[in-house]
Amino acid sequence: MATNTFEYCSLHYLNQWLTYDINYCQALANGNKNEKLTALKNAGGFYRVARNLPSEYDEKKGLARYEPVLDIIDLLKPIQFENDPVKEIRGIEKRISEKYRDRSVLSLTTKFLWIKIKQPILIYDSQARIAVGTENGDLDTYYEKWREGFKDNQREIVEACFKLTDMNKYAVNQEIGTKEYIKAVSGEAWFHERVFDIYLWNKGNNA
């Protein structure tokens, strides 16, 4: 069984952030259209959701890969998700699905939305769903159970993240991953939530 302490999960996510997510997030926040599309394409591969959006509905129609998705999420703001994030996510999910012949895109939608705006989006993943014990597709209950689990473990997660500055030699990118940078990024609430994501993924994968 894989190691699943919060210390392990915090270092795991730090290196995932430095290797992958930082690039996706920066591109969607500040990149030009081509850079944003490249970020979505790379994220789709890394998060293993590319198969949910067949290229026959974008590239084979003369569009760039994921262009219909970018058109939907590009101008979204975090404030739109503050009151009822599940309802808003469902709305975005429906719009993306319609562009790809009604494909199942809930997990993909949450992953791309997180890359775009981070909080208050929670990533919906099959392994995390198994870990929190909800039915497939029940995003409302998933949010409730995820939040309950995070609250129960928040103190330990924050403590584990605080220790990351002393583990900077294990950061995959030493140029970016200085002690000062690690202290700043690992203190963010969204970082703590992603550490919990890693914990749930490992727990669900070993269930």
pLDDT digits (tens, 9 = 90+) for 146-159: 999 999 999 999 99
pTM for the whole structure: 0.95
Q: For residue 100, give every residue at least 6 positions away whose Cβ sits within 8 Å of its Cβ, in sequence order, or none.
A: 52, 53, 54, 57, 58, 68
Largest CA distance in the chain: 51
Residues across the chain: 207
Predicted confidence (pLDDT) per residue in 36-64, tens digit = 999 999 999 999 999 999 999 999 999 99
Domains of the chain: which residue ranges?
6-205
Average pLDDT score over residue span 89-112: 97
Predicted confidence (pLDDT) per residue in 192-203, tens digit = 999 999 999 999
Asked if pLDDT for residue 176 goes beyond 50, the answer is yes
Average pLDDT score over residue span 111-136: 97
Asked if pLDDT for residue 1 goes beyond 60, the answer is no
Question: How would residue 191 be classed by pLDDT, with cut points 50, 70 and 90?
Answer: very high
